[in-house]
Chains A and B, each alone.
Chain A
């Protein structure tokens, strides 16, 4: 073989070998577990030193990484999409690191709020993150709105909730938030508050997995609210609490039994509070928690 042809032959061999390797390689990468893709992120201070003048970019890239990871979970069957426990601790660590690099990144606060509360019940952690964000995003009403919701709905700290809702109302001029500051104290207002909150989250969400999760919860709460309204009308008319949801149906105060998208059955607790056997969670998730 002439020396001039050697590189050409080598190139051809390399291209053929590449074509053979490419298939198994991309297949391996596609099948790689989503959990492995989240990886490890070093300490925020160290990372800040290394990424020089690209802190905002690295912060955004880290948040994207978490969003992609969480979005990847939606490839699973819908009923299992949120049942398999994702690496929430890893997600939380990465988002905290990212927000130290860029404390203004709204994607980070929004996404952390969406999973730190209902999914992992780390209310204090979520609130600390929101307080941190409020120091920077001084114009943004979403952060105090989220914090107000967390205090009212999860922590039952109504005084604090009022402060945050007032702050959100002052920033947005939104009457609903201003009214919520006064209305959340009533037990009956809780479901309504949750519905208002979820609607706000859905409208602004661009992540399909998160949107789906909010949508399911919204549907469940709207079902509960329908029963609450029927229960309140029954109380006014009959002067007592209905004994069960079936009584509401029988007496005509409730036209049809709302379905619980989590697969449970709505029922009335002895004090009249509307509850569901699913506890507003998919059964797989409850078993996973155990």
Chain B
């Protein structure tokens, strides 16, 4: 499994994805200049823009690396040589996932460090109303990375059932969009207005989807990081456990399906 992870990681480096990340990361240095257009919250806007850029980059990485990794191996017939090694198909899936996840963590570390430097600079332009909570900022970046690692597991599951990359790419993007709003929809369904107006069938279907689809809203700590709002540590712990359990279940499904897949 570790071999597969190392090969995956090497493949990503070979494709010069890291250089791309560094170039994008350099854009973060210009953020304080853009944020100086703000009337009252230059530092807060710098954090907002930096975290948004990190999220966007991580979304692209998780969708394209996760969704195309297995498909590319199958297209180039690398999978056959990989599977001829003494590794199980489950270990192959786990190795691929670990390789991509490590790369996501590395990318978030690089982008996170650049963000911290940019925010430090923004503070010198216009100090924020409240001191920047560095710990919360770093936690937000970490949980953002966890969110996109979970999304990698989603894209890998979709890759195991598809022969092209269309389903994994567009399926992952769709699940990401739905995953960020399931909580809002569920909150709405519990309001008195929805109880009266929404039919029972829709209510039950929406509730089933709420439990089935990933809840990505809990990983979003941007507002806490931007405005130095206190974190709910109990909530973070349960989110971390949710991440481990949900990602584990997705990978188990992916391994199960990939194990039964017929390869020609």
Contact = CB atoms under 8 A, between A and B. Distances in A.
A110 B129 CA distance: 13
Interface residues of A, number: 27
A113 B240 CA distance: 41
Contacts of A69: none
Interface string B44-87: 11001101100110000000000000000000000000000000
A90 B93 CA distance: 52
Contact of B48 (A60, A137, A140, A210): A60
Given A49-B181, A139-B130, A107 B40 contact: yes
B199 interface: no
B39 A60 contact: no
Majority secondary structure of chain B interface residues (helix, strand, loop or mixed): helix
A205 interface: yes
B131 to A, nearest CB: 11
B156 interface: no
Contacts of B55: 53-54
Interface residues of B, number: 32
B180 A205 contact: no
Contacts of B176: 52
A60 B45 contact: yes
A57 B37 contact: no
A93 to B, nearest CB: 19
A57 to B, nearest CB: 4
Interface stretch (B7-15, B107-115, B219-227): B219-227
B184 interface: yes
Given A52-B176, A102-B223, A106-B44, A140 B39 contact: no
Interface of B: 36-42, 44-45, 48-49, 51-52, 55-56, 126, 129-130, 147, 176-177, 180-181, 184, 216-217, 220, 222-223, 226-227, 229
- Top 5 nearest A-B pairs (CB, nearest first) are A57-B52, A52-B180, A104-B227, A106-B40, A206-B39
Given A53-B220, A57-B48, 15 more contacts: A48-B184, A52-B177, A53-B222, A55-B222, A56-B52, A57-B49, A60-B49, A64-B38, A67-B38, A68-B37, A111-B39, A140-B129, A206-B36, A206-B38, A206-B126
